[in-house]
Amino acid sequence: MALISLLGIEGYRFVRTAQDLREGRDILLEAADLLEERSLDVTAGELDQANADFGRASERIDRASGVLRSDPILSVAARLPWLGGQVDAARDLADIGSHSTAIGTESVEAFRAFQRVRDAEGGELSEKVVSVLDALDPHLTVIEHHLAIVQEERARIGDRDLLPALESAVSSLDQRMEDLEGRLVNQRRAQEMAPRVLGYEGPQTYLILAHDNTEILPTGGFILVYGFLTFDEGRLQNLSFDTVDTVGHVADGAWPPTDGRPYVEPPRALREHLLRNWPMGLAEASWWPDFPTAAMNAIEIYRVNSGDQRTIDGVIGINFLTLEKLLDVLGPVTVDLYGETVTSETVTSRTLVITHPEALRPWETDRYDFTGYVAQEVIERTLSADSSQWASLLTALDALGGEKNLLLYHSDSAVQRGIVDFGWDGGVEETAGDFLMAVDSNLRRNKLNLVVETSIDLDVRLDAEGNASNVATITYRNDHTSWAQTADPRLLPLTTGGGWPVPLYGSYVRLLVPRESELQALTLGGLAAEAEEVSTEGARTSFGFYVSLPLDSTAEVSYAYAAPSVVDASHDSYEYRLLVQKQPGTRAVPLTVTVEAPPGMKILSVELDGDELNREVGAIVTDLQQDRQIVVTYAPHR
């Protein structure tokens, strides 16, 4: 009877311990999800609730941890070969839960520190960034301490075979641990970069390139207006815009090359399809797909054409999509000089209508001035926004960086490394494995990027040596008649004219692929064609081809090419990794990728941006709202 009673007591303790662990985990995750979902918009009341929930979770997890560590039966079980591994993993997970509640509690304090700085009197958003980061620092240090312990505990668990419940807990832990580590790394990067970028170590002046992505070029579009922005100790000291005509804009014949100004030699394709014998101006400085390269060239072109030798510390790239997303947060903006109000829905169309001849007013000095006025109003409103909008603005700015509609370059190599780590540099990445970036350049100088829709299909066939035979097909659809039925009629001359006698969409398309790739065939509408240029751009090979697309037509351009050594065979299984980069200034271009493993191999897993997909999926269907990373692992049939 005594033994039965003892076993009954032990059974009850185990059930109660399991219940404590489940309840503690659920409370912990619910509170953590609240903080993640609400982020900087979290209220003081929600922080109080989250703090209380972390305390409740801690009580249950600590109680369960005590049983797991002290129970004599579990101590015996821990010595058994397989069962011991399960007991050790359960103990480690309980300890991890305790440290996770401590991370949650400290996160609450970090949010409160942010709110105190945000709500303090005086100062605009840019002035308070460094103060916010300083206030967060002690809390980040505590969180990093607990995360380091969690990582040690997780390492002890290793990759052992676990019971389903434990395995699920470990899998969830790995994802959350990775997310938290990424946030902490970004916070530390921001701490290192912000003082320099915002002028706390001396004034910083930035050249702003305002791209017109309705006339697409590689880093966002033709540049019609440019500006200068200066920060000094976080304060906006100067912000002004001007038109590119003032620095030698020549694509529309603004001045002849014989007037004594320096001649800037344009790249071959740009010269042959657009500029002819005209020199390159600031308007075309976004010709290079790699934004750091484009930014450095823009600085040089500006200096050559203007004679202005002021110190330029960095370059900022924006476009209409940038303005649209910021106006989503800020609300309507009025340009008093024009008596015109724009919203996120109308900023692109109204700007195009006002800045073209049909809408000119007699007192206007330059038709593109309005673009500069809008950009200036939006930037000033962003920097002076009420603290209640900070969270939404920071979220919008983060999204713009990820979507490549806000690009940054800094001349300081240390700052630039931080920008690269954030993913805001707009650079063509030099990663191992396979790579694809389709880059359009609208060289007909019309606004048909309002109309033309693009999609990309990539078929990948891998061989036993780790090489890929790829076929990339870019489809262009110019459904102008359908688009015109709902468009502002004043936009129609901009999509059918552009100074050319025949209304065409003419794009010089560059396909960037791995460095040693060889073009095997190129077809246009199924018919054989010849690439205009096979060249090297940074670490990538580029296949260039000009596509003409009449109104209400479709064109398919297919590139068949061999990409060598794109598979990592250094593990037990083979790993094919593909990075597809987005072109700045474009919307979410549809992307479909199919991957065929070599004969005798089977696919083990398929990931898209870190999320596992069904390995039996026939095609990976996504879009280029941002860069996409695809990973396929495969191994021999057994």
pLDDT digits (tens, 9 = 90+) for 579-604: 999 999 999 999 999 999 999 999 99
CB 24 within 8 A of CB 97: yes
Is the pLDDT score of 292 beyond 80?
yes
Is 214 a domain residue? Answer: yes
Band (321; pLDDT cuts 50, 70, 90): very high
H or E, element range at 474 = strand 468-478
Give the count of alpha carbons within 13 A of 362, CB side only: 0
Mean pLDDT across the stretch 36-50? Answer: 92
Is the pLDDT score of 625 beyond 50?
yes
Is the pLDDT score of 160 beyond 90?
no
Is 209 a domain residue? Answer: yes
Is the pLDDT score of 21 beyond 90?
no
Tell whether 131 and 67 lie within a shared domain.
yes
Is 427 a domain residue? Answer: no
Give the count of alpha carbons within 13 A of 181, CB side only: 11
Mean pLDDT across the stretch 451-474? Answer: 97
Give the CATH number, domain containing residue 363: 3.40.630
CB 578 within 8 A of CB 629: yes
- What token pair was written down for 76? 């015996």
pLDDT of residue 168: 76
Is the pLDDT score of 157 beyond 80?
yes
H or E, element range at 151 = helix 125-157
- The closest alpha carbon to 581, from 406, 428, 367, belongs to 428
Share above pLDDT 70 across residues of the chain, in percent, rounded to a whole number: 90
Is 428 a domain residue? Answer: no
- Name, in order, each residue with C-beta under 8 angstroms of 569's C-beta and a sequence gap of 6 or more: 466, 575
- Name, in order, each residue with C-beta under 8 angstroms of 47's C-beta and a sequence gap of 6 or more: 108, 111, 112
Is 531 a domain residue? Answer: yes
CB 175 within 8 A of CB 283: no
Is the pLDDT score of 7 beyond 80?
no
CA–CA distance from 622 to each of 456, 484, 589, 613, 629 (Å)?
A: 10, 28, 9, 12, 11
281 or 252, which is more confident?
A: 281
Cα torsion angle, 179, 181, 184, 190, sign: negative
Is the pLDDT score of 85 beyond 80?
no
Beta bridge partners of 242: 226
CB 372 within 8 A of CB 208: no
Is the pLDDT score of 191 beyond 50?
yes
Tell whether 467 and 525 lie within a shared domain.
yes
CA dist., res. 503 & res. 76, Å (int): 83
Band (379; pLDDT cuts 50, 70, 90): very high
- The closest alpha carbon to 409, from 515, 323, 285, 325, belongs to 285
For the segment 228-260, what is each residue's pLDDT rounded down to a tens digit?
A: 999 999 999 999 999 988 785 444 444 454 456
Q: Which long-range contacts (CB under 8 A, 24 or more apart) does 31-39 make?
A: 31/57, 31/104, 32/100, 32/104, 32/176, 35/104, 35/107, 35/108, 35/111, 39/391, 39/395
Is the pLDDT score of 74 beyond 70?
no
Tell whether 322 and 190 lie within a shared domain.
no
CB 208 within 8 A of CB 316: yes
Is the pLDDT score of 163 beyond 80?
no
Tell whether 74 and 33 lie within a shared domain.
yes
For the segment 419-443, what is each residue's pLDDT rounded down to a tens digit?
A: 999 899 999 999 999 999 999 999 9
Is the pLDDT score of 417 beyond 70?
yes
CB 461 within 8 A of CB 599: no
Tell whether 158 and 224 lie within a shared domain.
no
- The closest alpha carbon to 473, from 632, 590, 609, 622, belongs to 590
Is 124 a domain residue? Answer: yes
Tell whether 168 and 285 lie within a shared domain.
no
The residue from 422, 450, 476 where one domain ends is 422
CA dist., res. 326 & res. 598, Å (int): 47
- Name, in order, each residue with C-beta under 8 angstroms of 114's C-beta and a sequence gap of 6 or more: 40, 132, 135, 136
Counting Cβ atoms within 10 Å, is residue 257 exposed (0-12), middle (13-18) or buried (19+)?
A: middle
CB 561 within 8 A of CB 188: no
- The closest alpha carbon to 252, from 442, 444, 441, 492, belongs to 444
The residue from 174, 197, 220 where one domain ends is 197
- What token pair was written down for 103? 């991370």
Tell whether 516 and 603 lie within a shared domain.
yes
H or E, element range at 81 = helix 81-119
Least confident of 138-147, 366-375, 552-561, 564-573: 366-375
Mean pLDDT across the stretch 541-564? Answer: 97
Cα torsion angle, 385, 389, 394, 395, sign: negative
Is the pLDDT score of 199 beyond 80?
yes
Helices (H), 235-368: 268-270, 291-306, 320-330, 347-354
pLDDT of residue 6: 34
Tell whether 14 and 152 lie within a shared domain.
yes
Band (91; pLDDT cuts 50, 70, 90): confident
pLDDT of residue 5: 38
Is the pLDDT score of 78 beyond 90?
no
Band (175; pLDDT cuts 50, 70, 90): confident
- The closest alpha carbon to 511, from 458, 589, 573, 446, belongs to 458
Is the pLDDT score of 8 beyond 50?
no
Tell whether 233 and 145 lie within a shared domain.
no
Is the pLDDT score of 499 beyond 90?
no
The residue from 167, 197, 227 where one domain ends is 197
pLDDT of residue 248: 58
Tell whether 294 and 164 lie within a shared domain.
no
Share above pLDDT 90 across residues of the chain, in percent, rounded to a whole number: 65
Band (162; pLDDT cuts 50, 70, 90): confident
CA dist., res. 212 & res. 210, Å (int): 7
Is the pLDDT score of 291 beyond 90?
yes
Is 63 a domain residue? Answer: yes
Is the pLDDT score of 267 beyond 70?
yes
Least confident of 115-129, 431-445, 544-558: 115-129
H or E, element range at 537 = strand 533-537
For the segment 293-310, what is each residue's pLDDT rounded down to a tens digit?
A: 999 999 999 999 888 999
Tell whether 188 and 275 lie within a shared domain.
no
Least confident of 79-88, 264-273, 469-478: 79-88
Tell whether 134 and 54 lie within a shared domain.
yes
Determine how many CB atoms are found less than 10 A away from the CB of residue 277: 9
pLDDT of residue 84: 66
Give the count of alpha carbons within 13 A of 361, CB side only: 10
Three-state DSSP state, 595: strand
Give the chain's domain count.
Answer: 3
Least confident of 89-93, 313-317, 374-378: 89-93
CA dist., res. 510 & res. 340, Å (int): 38
- What is the span of the domain harbouring residue 332? 204-422
